[in-house]
Structure 1
Amino acid sequence: MIMSSSIKKPCVSEQEIMLARVIWDYMKLNHVCQKSDVILCMCSYDIRVADKAASLFLQGMGDWLVISGNTGKLTENLWTEPEAIIFAERARQLGVSDEKIILETKSTNSGENVRFTHKILSEKKMHPQSFILVQKPYMERRAYATFMKQWPDALPPEAVVVTSPDIDLLDYPNEATGTLSDVISVIVGDLARIKLYEDIGFQIPQTIPDCVQKAYNDLITCEKFNTHMPL
Structure 2
Amino acid sequence: MISAQTWADAQRLWDFQQMGHDPRPCSVAIGLGSHDLGVAETAADLYHQGMMPLVVFTGATSRTTQERMPRGEAEHYRERAMELGVPAEAILVEPRARNTGENIRFSRALLEEHRIPVSSILLVSKPYEERRAYATARKLWPEVEWVSTSTPMTLTAYVDSIGDARLVIDMLTGAQQRLMIYPQQGFMMEQSVPEGVTTAYERLRDAGFTSRLVANPADGNDNTTAH
Length-normalised TM-score, structure 1: 0.90
Deviation at 1:73, TM superposition (A): 3.5
User: Over residues 47-95 of structure 1, what are the superposed CA-to-partner deviations in whole Å (9 max), with x where a residue is unaligned?
Assistant: 1111101000111000111111111242133321110110100000000
- Decide which of 159, 173, 186 is 2:159's aligned counterpart: 173
**Residues 1:154 and 2:130 aligned together:** no
The one-letter code of the counterpart of 2:152 is D
Structure 2 counterparts to residues 81-96 of structure 1, below 5 A: 81-96=71-86
Question: SS of the counterpart of 2:212?
Answer: coil
**Residues 1:189 and 2:174 aligned together:** yes
- Paired with 2:187 and 2:11, the residues of 1 have a C-alpha distance of 26
User: Over residues 165-216 of structure 1, what are the superposed CA-to-partner deviations in whole Å (9 max), with x where a residue is unaligned?
Assistant: 01111111257x4511110011001100112211100000011100000101
- Decide which of 118, 126, 132 is 1:142's aligned counterpart: 132
RMSD of the TM alignment (CA)? Answer: 1.2
| Aligned position for 2:190 | 205
- Paired with 1:115 and 1:126, the residues of 2 have a C-alpha distance of 15
Assess if the C-alpha contact under 8 Å between 2:97 and 2:103 holds in 1: yes
| Aligned position for 1:164 | 150
- Paired with 2:143 and 2:38, the residues of 1 have a C-alpha distance of 30
The one-letter code of the counterpart of 1:194 is L
- Paired with 1:208 and 1:84, the residues of 2 have a C-alpha distance of 31
| Aligned position for 2:67 | 77
- Paired with 1:127 and 1:109, the residues of 2 have a C-alpha distance of 24
Percent of aligned pairs with the same amino acid: 35
- Decide which of 200, 210, 221 is 1:215's aligned counterpart: 200
- Decide which of 113, 128, 131 is 1:123's aligned counterpart: 113
- Paired with 1:73 and 1:170, the residues of 2 have a C-alpha distance of 25
Question: SS of the counterpart of 1:56?
Answer: helix
- Decide which of 32, 39, 60 is 1:49's aligned counterpart: 39
- Paired with 1:188 and 1:18, the residues of 2 have a C-alpha distance of 13
Question: SS of the counterpart of 2:148?
Answer: strand
> Where does the alignment leave 5 or more consecutive residues of structure 2 unmatched?
216-227
Assess if the C-alpha contact under 8 Å between 1:72 and 1:109 holds in 2: no
| Aligned position for 1:3 | none
Assess if the C-alpha contact under 8 Å between 2:135 and 2:188 holds in 1: yes
**Residues 1:35 and 2:25 aligned together:** yes
- Decide which of 210, 214, 217 is 1:226's aligned counterpart: 210
Which is worse superposed, 73-82 or 134-143? 73-82
> Where does the alignment leave 5 or more consecutive residues of structure 1 unmatched?
1-10
Length-normalised TM-score, structure 2: 0.91
- Paired with 1:162 and 1:132, the residues of 2 have a C-alpha distance of 6
- Paired with 2:125 and 2:188, the residues of 1 have a C-alpha distance of 16
The one-letter code of the counterpart of 1:18 is A
